[in-house]
Every structure is written in C-alpha cells, then in structure tokens.
Copies of this chain bind each other. A is one copy, B any other.
Amino acid sequence: MLINDKPHDECGIIGIFAPNEDVARMAYFGLYALQHRGQEAAGIAVSDGVMARVHKEVGLVWQVFTPQSLASLQGHYAIGHTRYSTTGSSSIRNAQPFLLETQYGPLAVAHNGNLINTAELRREVLARGAGLSSSSDSEVITMMLAGAEGDTWEERIRNTMPKWRGAYSVVMLTRDSVLAVRDPWGFRPLTVGRLPSGGHAAASESGALRTLGCNAIREVKPGEIITLSDTALRVRQALPPVTPLARCVFEHIYFSRPDSFWDGLSVHQVRQRLGGELAREAPAAADVVIAVPDSSVPAAIGYARASGIPYNDGFVKNRYIGRTFIEPTDSLRRRMW
C-alpha cells in the first residue's frame, strides 16, 4: 500500500437528490449535522446532469467550504462525507468522496465502514491494469465499479456487492442519480427520507435528515440498494440480509446523535434504558449520579431514575477545547483539569 492507514469506521455520509434545490448547500448543512462522526476531512461531490465536480480538504466542515467553493458545485445531485481521524497524521489523499470518470460516466463514492478483504480486492483491481492513488477502501469500491459489468449502475453495484466483505454504508453519485447502499450484515446505520421541496436524502443518521426537514424517514435495510428519485424511492434488495445481523453497538452507546433513530429505536431512549438496566445490575450506595458529558447524560438520568438517587450535573465541557498547539508544562499537567 502507498499509505498505511488504520481503519476508519465512524464516518458520516450524506446523499441528496433535490430537483428544486441548491444541493451543495443542503449537503453542507447535512455534513454539519454529522460533524461529530468525523473531524479530519470533509468533501462534497455534485453533478448537474452533465458533469460532476468534487471539493474536499482536510479540516472541519466549516473550514473546508467557503461560499466560493460551494458556488462551484452546481447541480441537483450531491453526496458528501466527513472523515474520522484515528491518527494525528491525516492526508488529503484519503479524503472522500472519490470521484472518477469511468466508461459509464462520472462516479463518486462516499463510504462509511471498513472492508476486511481490502488487500484481496486491491490485488484484483491492480491485476487488471488499474492503478490506485490512495489506501482508501472507497477508491477500491469506485474502481471496481468502473470496471463492473451491467447496463445500469444498479446492476453494476449488485454484480459487485458479493465481493465486498465487511462494513459498508455507501452513497454514490453518478451523472444523473444518487444511490444508497448498505451491506447485508447491517453494521453501520444509513437512513433515507423525503425532502419537503421534492426529492430525497440519505444520511448516516436520521438526525441529519431532520436537520434538512425530511419526513417519511426509514432505514436503508441490510443488503438494499436505494435510488433516490423525484417521487418514490426505487428500492432493490440486492443481497439477502445476513442472519444474525451484526450491528455496531457503539452507535447506540457512543457515536450517534441522541436524536437519531436506529433499528427503529431512539438512541436517546436506548441510552436511558441502558442506564436503568445498569442501576439494576450494578446498584450503588451513592448520594448523586453524575454523567460525563455528552453521550452518557441519558444513561446517568436513566440510572438516577431507576435507582432513586438524585441526578446532578458535575462536569461541563469547555466548548472551546479544539486543537491547541501548546503543551502544558509538567507541573501544570499534573494539576490541570
């Protein structure tokens, strides 16, 4: 591999088809609502029905996009991505979406998940004479589809999906469509909803869809390919769901926004119930229940409610803690925070 990166599991992705809207701006605010899922890099690819363009950079969503860079992304079809940082070294080479010109026209891919047979898939792609410019699973997915057989993108995806082993919730942009695809194990979340001005959107979390005003929100089910359209969604079960499903438990515990729904369950409620269950399984003789914000607040409230011990707030996050270049001295470090 050119670059040896750790897996990046917790990205945020969004896809939009809105025939009457400035999709780049919608994608921007959708990514903003998914910023907690990835702070390393962000990108948006847009097609106007003829040509596709992408803008992506290392940084937070608000740092990556300016009015100028958004203005260059005209069109009605968009996908976007925020990338999770697991290491200090981050690279623009692995930023998403990946946009390629293919024999079937432009194709852009934004991917949340981690394939386990990447090495094998890379060898397959390289062996047919295609070169790869990054270590990203997303580029492998894009390049496989560039060489896939089938008359439509849906067919090419369906023909290729059986080769992908592992977690993949994916949104794809073609010249004139946006597709949402989820692996048959259902590792990572992916939801779709109807936009009030017409068209549809897909996003990692239902909270981002509600930010855009969506209604009729449903999950992309394991193994499904959904094509966003002006009116009804076109849903195809490309692969049968694997039994049992292999959902990532950290989505409910940690990654997801509390206002998201996932497996038909409110993340906020699941966290409260987990807290209640903890109170029953691990009772404590305490005066107060205090959460470490933010994810554990509902669990602490649930614990307090089930145990009868009063809840109180004891920690507040410094909202300006960002990215400091300054190291505390040793004596400071020992007594700070």
Interface size class of A (residues with CB under 8 A): 35 or more
Q: Is A247 part of the contact surface with B, judged by Cβ < 8 Å?
A: no
Q: Which residues, 278 to 297 on A, are CB-close (under 8 Å) to B?
A: 294, 297
Q: B25, B36, B321, B335: which contacts A318 (Cβ < 8 A)?
A: B36
Residues of B contacting A142 in the complex (Cβ-Cβ under 8 angstroms) = 131
Nearest to A271 among chain B residues (CB) is: B313
A326 CA / B322 CA spacing, docked (Å): 21
Tell whether, in the assembled complex, residue A2 and residue B52 are in contact, meaning their CB atoms are under 8 Å apart: yes
Q: Which residues of B contact A326 (CB under 8 A)?
A: 25, 28-29, 62, 65-67, 70
* A222 lies within 8 A of chain B by Cβ: no
Chain B residues within an 8 Å CB radius of A39? 320
Chain B residues with Cβ below 8 Å from A243 are: none
Number of copies of this protein chain within its complex: 4
In the bound complex, what is the Cα–Cα distance between A31 and B52 (angstroms)? 33
Identify the closest chain B residue to A62 (Cβ). B324
- What chain B residues lie within 8 Å of A67 (beta carbons)? 325-326
Q: Shortest beta-carbon distance, A225 to chain B, in Å?
A: 20
Chain B nearest Cβ from A44, distance in angstroms: 11
Are B337 and A211 neighbours in the complex by a CB distance under 8 Å? yes
CB–CB B319/A106 < 8 A: no
A147 partner, pick from B29, B130, B317, B323, beta carbons under 8 A? B130
Given A319-B317, A319-B319: A331 touches B2 (CB 8 Å cut-off): no
Partner of A53 from the list B2, B98, B297 (CB cut-off 8 Å) is B2
Residues of B within 8 A of A106 (CB): 2
Query: Could you say which of B128, B311, B335 contacts A311, with CB atoms under 8 Å apart?
Result: B311
CB atoms of B131 and A143 under 8 A apart: yes
In chain A between 25 and 55, which residues have their CB closer than 8 angstroms to a CB of chain B? Answer: 25-26, 28-29, 32-33, 35-36, 39, 51-53
Provide a sorted-by-A list of 13 A–B residue pairs whose CB atoms are within 8 angstroms. A2-B52, A22-B329, A28-B326, A62-B320, A62-B324, A65-B326, A99-B133, A129-B146, A130-B146, A197-B331, A212-B332, A294-B316, A311-B311
